[in-house]
Amino acid sequence: MRKVFYKNVLKKEIQYMLFRIYFKLPFIPIRWGIINSVFKTVSFLSILLTQVLRKKSIILKKVDLNFIDRFLKCRNYFNLKNKS
């Protein structure tokens, strides 16, 4: 149960980091291409990090889930816009 919690928190924090990077990159299609490719790699790394964090019993801070939800809605909007 704790492993799943840490993994989810790490994913949210990584998404938040990528969201901040998103606004610093110039073009929308390039932005999401980079973010998607980075996130696939990072999601694997986050699994490894959860093992380390669990062993060291580090308490992670909670992420503002409303902010992440807004980020995901924004991402879906741009993905749909780019496909059409």
Full pLDDT tens readout for the chain, 84 residues: 556 666 677 777 777 666 666 566 555 555 555 556 666 555 556 655 565 555 554 444 444 555 566 666 766 666 666 665
Closest C-alpha among 10, 34, 23, 14 to residue 74 = 23
Angle at 51 between CA 47 and CA 54, to 5 degrees: 130
Q: What is the pLDDT of residue 61?
A: 44
Question: Is residue 71 within 8 Å of residue 19, measured between CB atoms?
Answer: yes
pTM for the predicted model, two decimal places: 0.25
